[in-house]
Structure formats: C-alpha cells, structure tokens
Amino acid sequence: MDLFEHDAAVQATNDDAQTTKINTVARGYYEDPFVRYFARTGSRKSPLINRGTWVRVQAVYDSVYRFLETYRENSCRQIVSLGSGFDSLYFQLQRKGLLQEGDRFLDVDYDSVISKKVEIIRTNPELRTALRADLTQLTNACGAKTDQYILAGVDLRLVEDFKRVTEEVAGFNLKKPTLVICELVLIYMEPKYSDAVLSYLSSSFAELLLFNFEQVGPEDPFGKQMTKNIEARGSPLMGLVAYPSVRAQKERFQKFNFNAVAAMSMLEYYSKFVSASEKIRTNRLEPLDEIEEFELILEHYCTVWASRTTGDLAHIERLLPPEAG
C-alpha cells in the first residue's frame, strides 16, 4: 500500500467514527442534533458498539466541561481537536451556551477532510444558523473560520505546519488555557510524529490540558483480533507497539514533562465515573447481555489526561477526574 492509499484509509476512519456516533445518538444514549448532518446512517451497530461509543463520548465531554468550568473566569479559553474529522463538538458547545466571547475552537485534520467539513457546514442552513456567524475562507491555509471557530487543514505529521496553523492561522495565545482533544488520532501516526506533536504542545503552552483516547492491549487474543481487523482496512494502529498499555500511555506523557498525568482503561473510567443512574438509563435503552465482552472492549481502550502548567499545580489538579491518579 502506498502513502496515498494509507492516508485515504486513515481519513476514512472518520466516516466510521461518525457512523458509530449517529447510531448511538439514534438509540438515545445522548443528544446531538448535529451529528446527522455529518454522518451517513450506516448499518445498525450492536449494543456493544453503541454502549462503548457512548462511554467514549462521555469521557470527551466530561473533560471539555471540566476544562471550561475550571477556567470560566478566563477571558480566552482555547480548544483544539486534533484529527477532529466531522466531529460536532463545537456545535454542541454552542448549543449549550458554554462558550464565551473570546474563546477559540480549532478543528484540525487533513486538507481533504476539512474541505469536506467546511462544505457541509456552508451548504446546511441548520449548521449555519447554529454557527451564529459567517464562515470566511482562510487565506493562509486550507479551511474557513468565524471569529471563534476555525477549521484548518494540516497533516499533523508536519509539526511545523501544525505550529503555524495553531499560532498564526488560528491565533492561539501560548499563555492562555488550552485544551487539546486527541480522540482516536495519535494512534494512526508513527510514534516519531505523535511524539513531535506532544513535544511541541507541552513545551509551548503555559496552561495546557491534553485528553487522549486510543486503543491498548494488542497482545491478548482480543487485542490481536482488533489489531488485525483495523490493519485489514489499511489504517494500522501505528502507535500501539510503542504505547501498548495504560502504564506505557502514562509514561508517554510523563516523558514530555506534563506535571500531572492520569491514565486508565475505559473499563476503569466506566466503573468509577459513569453514574449508577446513567448505567440504569442506558441498560433500559438496549439490553446488553454480553457484559463480559463489553468489559473486554472497554479494557482495550485507554484515556489519558495530562496537564502542564507554569502556574499553581493544586489548581490544575481540578482538571483531572476525582480519584484518578
């Protein structure tokens, strides 16, 4: 497979991601009135996939809410979604009135993904209304922007390009609180590239929270099958050998001088941080008989919260989930 085919296969993972999300929303796990504009309704997914996707989305939203709440007094909060694909997070935050004037939100992905996302937004009246501002074409990169929301094309393997997009195109201020969301993206990059991205972020931003979500556990039979299935689609999990476990993920972020790092499997996250009432509610949506299989799936995904600050460490601790360590 040549590089072009590989990149196309990696970009296609965005379609899968949005299809799983639209199915999960359609089953009532969570509300997202925007996902249907960004995703094709695919074949129905199993309750296992729906439930797993819901837990993953909860972990992302939880991190975003905690970040926005912690810095609510701040005049400029910055969020960047790496490998955002067609994810609708910005629209969700707007809908819930969680963003303030001065906040910035940046979606980055390959040029071709960002161009398509911009086109979808431009041609959809509901999305345009939800934006509450007109999109203008970027002049110094592929993409478009409003005063608050920037969609910019960049290949994250070119860290200098990513730096330029973040600081010059999106105008991110290195001193302002910044949240970086990595939801199933770093794993598709060779470690030398994802390491370069993490190194740039941790050495440049003064007040930083990074959320990472990706697969772990390639050695056991389930992990071997998972790796094989994904590889067969032409988008191998390139980071999995270097960072195969929760512990390796934790050490990965410590290596880049994040001050506080918490890492756990999604199973641990689900057990500790998803409330009993939410578990009961989702059990009623779809019965889930294969509890052991569900737990096995969750064990093969890992979340990491890593924070870096030149300020008060006690205060940055509030960005991590309680009990996490």
Ligand X SMILES: C[S@@+](CC[C@H](N)C(=O)[O-])C[C@H]1O[C@@H](n2cnc3c(N)ncnc32)[C@H](O)[C@@H]1O
The site for ligand X (CB under 6 A) is made up of 10-11, 13-14, 17, 83-85, 87, 109-110, 113, 155-157, 183-185, 188-189
- In the complex, least distance from residue 9 CB atom to ligand X, rounded to whole angstroms: 10
Q: Which of 102, 53, 56 is nearest to 79 (CA)?
A: 102
- In the complex, least distance from residue 110 CB atom to ligand X, rounded to whole angstroms: 5
- In the complex, least distance from residue 155 CB atom to ligand X, rounded to whole angstroms: 5
- In the complex, least distance from residue 183 CB atom to ligand X, rounded to whole angstroms: 4
- 103 or 183: whose CB is closer to ligand X? 183
Structure tokens belonging to residue 73: 């007094």
Q: Please give the residue whose beta carbon sits closest to ligand X in the complex.
A: 83
Q: Which of 262, 153, 245, 254 is nearest to 202 (CA)?
A: 254
- 42 annotated ligand binder: no
- 251 annotated ligand binder: no
- 107 annotated ligand binder: no
Beta strands in 56-131 (DSSP E): 78-82, 104-109
Q: How far apart are CA 25 and CA 47, in angstroms?
A: 12
- 156 annotated ligand binder: yes
- 7 or 286: whose CB is closer to ligand X? 7
- 155 or 268: whose CB is closer to ligand X? 155
- 103 or 109: whose CB is closer to ligand X? 109
- In the complex, least distance from residue 150 CB atom to ligand X, rounded to whole angstroms: 15
- 83 annotated ligand binder: yes
- In the complex, least distance from residue 157 CB atom to ligand X, rounded to whole angstroms: 5
Beta carbons of 261 and 319 less than 8 angstroms apart: no
Q: How far apart are CA 232 and CA 67, in angstroms?
A: 37
Task: Output b/e per residue, 278-292; b: 16+ Cβ within 10 A.
Answer: beeebeeeeeeeeee
Q: How far apart are CA 299 and CA 268, in angstroms?
A: 8
- 109 or 260: whose CB is closer to ligand X? 109
Q: Which of 59, 64, 67, 68 is nearest to 30 (CA)?
A: 59
Beta strands in the chain (DSSP E): 78-82, 104-109, 136-137, 143-145, 149-153, 178-183, 207-215, 260-265, 301-309
Q: How far apart are CA 35 and CA 53, in angstroms?
A: 13
- In the complex, least distance from residue 252 CB atom to ligand X, rounded to whole angstroms: 17
Q: How far apart are CA 82 and CA 112, in angstroms?
A: 15
- 30 or 259: whose CB is closer to ligand X? 30
- 87 or 207: whose CB is closer to ligand X? 87
Which positions make up the binding site for S-adenosyl-L-methionine? 56, 83, 155-156, 183
Annotated binding site: 56, 83, 155-156, 183
